[in-house]
Structure 1
């Protein structure tokens, strides 16, 4: 036994210990079964202290106990085993692995044991561990491995244990945790709240919120009380997020056939939060913009985003919390499933939103990343928690979700659901790996799920399927797709089992044929000669399609034969082929022109995004007016058809069509009339006339007005940012301050970035907005490199944001920028963002090469159309 105040030695012994490497994993011979912890939180002093009793099971005699702790002072350590105290001879910290080694004076026998620890520490300056999340408000964020900054613990997902927590905090502070409050004690200036014991949890799902928050009364759904919290002045914005949770929770219970396990559900909007949200069991924390909104002023995109995020986190209560991955290389198992499930449930609740089209936008972004050499498999090897941090990306979430959707489509929805239910029952309250899921799905479906899944989960990249027709014979060829033309060499070596759904029209009827393309090439006999053919029906497959000239010409002439998702996929695939050097930019612009009569807002959004990229990267200054005129010709009829004012009861489809037209004309074409109208309507809206600017137009109007704004407008937006309570509007005004194109005001935006006034959670977005501003780009790029060290220090406590700052460099445009970025990042390596650096530089190089080979052809095409 070692008692009293002591400081563990930070120096390693002469002989290195296994813990002296970053990749160290805790031994499995000592496992926790229960934590009984008490924590005292000092909000003003930004410190905490506590005790924890950990019930252990030793599979063999142990001479030392190793557990995680980072930046904690240990005051007391006592081990009890076999009814006696086992003295702790030495306590040592290992900085590399963030572990605490308790060396025992004598071996503890196999069997049950209890470890009592007393400790203290400081709140972190970043957004991990226990940190200040707002004025008078502290919160925890423990994923992937930051519980160790608050509790000495076994901080790996494979060590699930029950938690019983008691928290002492200043009187008047709200205290929330995973369990339900079961007892409160008045201690004078403080109050102690004890919570009920949780089901077995990994440490990354333990959570605490302490401080100034409030909520409307709870709503009970199937005996589960649901409550949504926010800073007191923002409580009126909690209703929509609350309604979403109440609607989707029973739908999730029905899908999994497992009741919600965590007693109650608290949702908390935090003013400072690194990610979008965190699925802590029974206490889900959110960035405010992902939870809070006013339904009367929010755009449909905001509502859908809140619904998707809330549902994503609630899906985790089963997939991740009830059944948990064993180690971080199966992070995708949590995130991909929650991503897919969120869209499935929201679509079931509100089919009119057509959220699968939003899902496809995420899939498209993942395909752009997955077409790089520097991509990674969905299931990537994770050696340590730093690697785990880099796995929170589009491949893990969006590609993983798209592959699950593709497998569901192949197996059928009912058999897929039956396999999921089998998996949930078999691994309840425990840990699992990917093969456990595949086994359950294979048993339920009697299909070769293992072959299909492991090919897509374990290999990086995806196929390009070439489709060529000769009469009724359809030839299919696959190879790995790369966005870099130089990488196509040798790409034929990679093969996938590609579950294709081919739809075509022949003899006046539509026919679907399913093909599992396993080989490099095959031939399919069609029922008749097609008038028009789609090689990825419903756009549910995670592959690109390259049509031969005849099939492509037929599609361009019969766009109405395709559904909206298929039209979007056609544009995306043809654009990807331009990037890969397999299509001419002029042919792509011809395709854009063929969409002149398009009315579907989702398809229009895709066209606006592609034309904005061309305007940002590929057009020479002398050709810019001609490009703007081309965009205006495409979209002026769109705005003329719907007008600026929304009619009473107008469908969302019309409102969103209007919004796409305003974005195209105001931000891409820079149409003067649209800019004048946007400014007038925004001013009327700010003066209180909410009918002046329909909710879906506000974001675009602010951006349009900021670009051409003067000093008075800059100060007005800065004032609005300071006093706005709605998080979406507040963020909108903040990013507008990085968008002013007047040289003096652009410099004021740059100064703001380094002033400390930009919230940490928004710092990466602000950097990206400045690098995307054609006036601010060069002066900010110079200053960013000059003041890199303090910026890096600021965001280091939020490594996810650090990677986003690196990724923001992808907004640079010219070859000199690329060369400067390569040199700078080589001289200033960021260990936490190795993958982000590689991907950003690879993508930027491809963008520069695309610019250099397409600028002249773009100019020639525009000249021919003038």
Structure 2
């Protein structure tokens, strides 16, 4: 009979639990190998002849089981099972129930990819989520097995050595230095971390008694101040929100030169991709500053929600990520209200709405059978949809009751593990509301509703059905939809709350009097649903755009685009609506508008029609850019700077207006000569990209030479991605050759591949090369799950039915087993994009011919 460990869905038995790890690691940074010794305090609920640990590519040496006050036992066999990533220790006699210690010695090697223990340039770092602690420690590597960790590490002298706790002892040990860290609180194995390298930290600053430092390589230490200031500002706000002190003795934030995700919330030692932590406020765009602030706050929020109270299993990953996503925007908005973070939240939510409109989507809380499947859960549904649903529930319960429920949940499950029902129970108890009905539908069910709103007099008929982006697709689900209707009548602007439980309901507008001038069925854009209006109501909104909040104008455009994709509206309807936004002054609304029009120009039309779309966009938005000009004025607000940047992207990047392109080239040349005032920071990305598209070999060489040595990660990334944009065929070919070189770090391979597929002159050659070398392309990710997923998703940049057929063939003949979900979603989305192009291309052409 097969042993359970021969099943890749094997889960550890609950009969053996770790209480404490005392481990010493010795690192050989040149050979990229390590050795370890540890004693694990364990508790056996019942006598057993076997103990099962997780391990990948570790060679176990001496192993001894020591019963408390009893005899020692050596395993009679040590069996490795690669399928379940375990080692099974079998003993001749039953091991006694109760407390014991397990001594293990082992050796291993650094991982080639960006997980386990790996080399990131000059730095050795760990990345253990979801299940890669087993690449370094033989361990009980599931989140439910929380234990204390007492870690020492032996490394070459003269390096910074960081762990979860503060250093309590540092001593010379032969040619090495032995560093011992303070023992941690109980933690799941995925939250343990180690970073070693020539790093420099900011001076220690305190939030109460908690020391805070931000670390980077020596040449980047001048970029640490902003991230340090964010941590100092938001940590007290998080402590106040949770009504619990920070638990993990210190906060170290470290910029890692090559890193898979944006960041990782290791307890007390948060690791970041450099671009998500390090910046120069004098040259960083506001978007970069906001992103760093949001990521830092997200990771600090995890110290409570995830680290202090931890999910039992990866099916509740969303408990960690959705909450951290939502509260990061909330806390940063409190700190910097002028940044209007909730508009950024809405823009992030858009990606979840598009993904969740596919048949191949998944619930927020989905079935996860093994660690490999857990890696596929790090997507927009888990993060952005999850965060949006929490925001919607908070809006339904009220800010105070929701916060009280979170505090109750944190107290009740402190230092332990919890499941989603524990959160619903705490929220319901605190708010005295039926939270479970609302939460279960939104968290356990795929998709979201399309709400149709029909206004007649002072009556609003609301109906709901599941929204699919595939034309004609239908299913019977319904949701309890918490809605806020905002409208204007003779007495002014009013709001009315509705919980739409049924397929259809008629609501009388209670407040106010007289005819309804306009009605928005998703006030503040806080609901996770799309809205379709009857013709008259849509006309009323279109005629009163100035009365809508920016978030509502964004939703109006996004919903109309969704209706076009699903075949419920024509692209002409969308363009008619877009034409109303010529005088739009809000940068966030302009970003949404430009995004929709860019899709029309780049994916729906070609040839003369493409030129006509560009000319129409230039007529619509060009006057706004001419009025603003390129040069920021003294005292100019961020809103004005960001509006200019959106208009530059529209008129130069999208419409390719010759005068704007020439100005971009001139200013980029001046910037490269050291004239810092040549380009206001918010214009840098757009201007460099535009200059690259029509750039020559001299400009290509400048970017290529400057990029590796550029200390600022945002600037480095800007030059790297610019290399993918050159449309001169010979330069596009040079860019393709860089993909397999050290010029492109592992962390950047998916973005670089996507950039090459977006290049209009180089796309076909790169696509041919991808098909020929598909396994090599995927291998460039080093097996990092998020990067593998994004490589597959990059194929969605292709356009035609011939492309679609070739992608299907490629992914069928050479499947990417670690990205099955991404494969299904990419094929479905690309299929819809091709159908949309074939259906809407003629509509765009006809609409353009009707324009004056």
TM-score, scaled to structure 1: 0.97
Note if 1:814 corresponds to 2:800.
yes
Q: 2:86 aligns with which of 90, 96, 99?
A: 99
Give runs of aligned pairs for residues 664-675 of structure 1, distance below 5 A: 664-675=650-661
Residue 848 of structure 2 aligns to a residue whose secondary structure is helix
Note if 1:564 corresponds to 2:547.
no
Q: 1:720-754 CA deviation, whole Å, 9 max, x = no partner?
A: 21221100110110111111111111111111112
Q: 2:480 aligns with which of 497, 512, 519?
A: 497
Match of 2:456 in 1: 470
Note if 1:222 corresponds to 2:208.
yes
Question: For the residues of structure 2 that align with 1:797 and 1:160, how far apart are their CA atoms?
Answer: 27
Q: 1:323 aligns with which of 287, 304, 309?
A: 309
Give runs of aligned pairs for residues 485-634 of structure 1, distance below 5 A: 485-488=471-474, 491=475, 493-527=476-510, 528=513, 529-634=515-620
Match of 1:232 in 2: 218
Note if 1:739 corresponds to 2:725.
yes
- Deviation of residue 109 (structure 1)? 1.1
Note if 1:194 corresponds to 2:180.
yes
Residue 139 of structure 1 aligns to a residue whose secondary structure is strand
Mean Cα deviation higher: 782-791 or 334-343: 782-791
Residue 722 of structure 1 aligns to a residue whose secondary structure is coil
- Deviation of residue 641 (structure 1)? 2.3
Q: 1:108 aligns with which of 95, 99, 110?
A: 95
Note if 1:43 corresponds to 2:29.
yes
Match of 1:433 in 2: 419
Match of 2:131 in 1: 145
Match of 1:863 in 2: 849
Q: 1:125-148 CA deviation, whole Å, 9 max, x = no partner?
A: 00000000122x100000000000
Give runs of aligned pairs for residues 309-388 of structure 1, distance below 5 A: 309-388=295-374
CA contact (8 A) 2:708 2:743 kept: no
Question: For the residues of structure 1 that align with 2:78 and 2:674, how far apart are their CA atoms?
Answer: 64
Give runs of aligned pairs for residues 146-161 of structure 1, distance below 5 A: 146-161=132-147
Query: Alignment length, in residue pairs?
Result: 848
Question: For the residues of structure 1 that align with 2:74 and 2:727, how far apart are their CA atoms?
Answer: 68
Residue 195 of structure 2 aligns to a residue whose secondary structure is strand
Question: For the residues of structure 1 that align with 2:723 and 2:743, how far apart are their CA atoms?
Answer: 12
Question: For the residues of structure 1 that align with 2:811 and 2:699, how far apart are their CA atoms?
Answer: 36
- Deviation of residue 649 (structure 1)? 1.8
Question: For the residues of structure 2 that align with 1:156 and 1:755, how far apart are their CA atoms?
Answer: 36
Match of 2:108 in 1: 121
Residue 332 of structure 2 aligns to a residue whose secondary structure is helix
CA contact (8 A) 1:456 1:496 kept: yes
Match of 2:647 in 1: 661
- Deviation of residue 622 (structure 1)? 1.7
Q: 1:56 aligns with which of 37, 42, 45?
A: 42
Question: For the residues of structure 2 that align with 1:815 and 1:363, how far apart are their CA atoms?
Answer: 29
Match of 2:74 in 1: 87
Note if 1:248 corresponds to 2:231.
no
- Deviation of residue 791 (structure 1)? 2.1
- Deviation of residue 588 (structure 1)? 0.6
- Deviation of residue 82 (structure 1)? 3.7
- Deviation of residue 318 (structure 1)? 0.2
CA contact (8 A) 2:298 2:324 kept: yes
CA contact (8 A) 2:778 2:791 kept: no
Residue 338 of structure 2 aligns to a residue whose secondary structure is helix
CA contact (8 A) 2:463 2:503 kept: yes
Q: 1:68-119 CA deviation, whole Å, 9 max, x = no partner?
A: 0110010110001142102311111111001010001210111001000001
Match of 1:802 in 2: 788
CA contact (8 A) 1:632 1:665 kept: yes
- Deviation of residue 570 (structure 1)? 0.3
Residue 80 of structure 1 aligns to a residue whose secondary structure is strand
Residue 103 of structure 1 aligns to a residue whose secondary structure is strand
Structure 1 residue runs of 5 or longer lacking an equivalent are: 1-14
Match of 1:8 in 2: none
Question: For the residues of structure 2 that align with 1:610 and 1:38, how far apart are their CA atoms?
Answer: 55
Question: For the residues of structure 1 that align with 2:792 and 2:566, how far apart are their CA atoms?
Answer: 24
CA contact (8 A) 2:554 2:589 kept: yes
CA contact (8 A) 1:214 1:229 kept: yes
Residue 485 of structure 1 aligns to a residue whose secondary structure is coil
Question: For the residues of structure 1 that align with 2:624 and 2:244, how far apart are their CA atoms?
Answer: 48
Question: For the residues of structure 2 that align with 1:541 and 1:154, how far apart are their CA atoms?
Answer: 40
Mean Cα deviation higher: 175-184 or 787-796: 787-796
Residue 635 of structure 2 aligns to a residue whose secondary structure is coil
Match of 1:830 in 2: 816
TM-score, scaled to structure 2: 0.99
Question: For the residues of structure 2 that align with 1:840 and 1:797, how far apart are their CA atoms?
Answer: 19
Q: 1:229-250 CA deviation, whole Å, 9 max, x = no partner?
A: 0111000000000000000000
CA contact (8 A) 1:82 1:109 kept: no
Match of 2:158 in 1: 172
Question: For the residues of structure 2 that align with 1:82 and 1:569, how far apart are their CA atoms?
Answer: 64
CA contact (8 A) 2:363 2:446 kept: yes
Residue 179 of structure 1 aligns to a residue whose secondary structure is coil
Question: For the residues of structure 2 that align with 1:279 and 1:723, how far apart are their CA atoms?
Answer: 28
- Deviation of residue 757 (structure 1)? 2.3
Structure 2 residue runs of 5 or longer lacking an equivalent are: none
- Deviation of residue 425 (structure 1)? 0.3
CA contact (8 A) 1:626 1:863 kept: no
CA contact (8 A) 2:19 2:146 kept: yes
Question: For the residues of structure 1 that align with 2:836 and 2:778, how far apart are their CA atoms?
Answer: 31
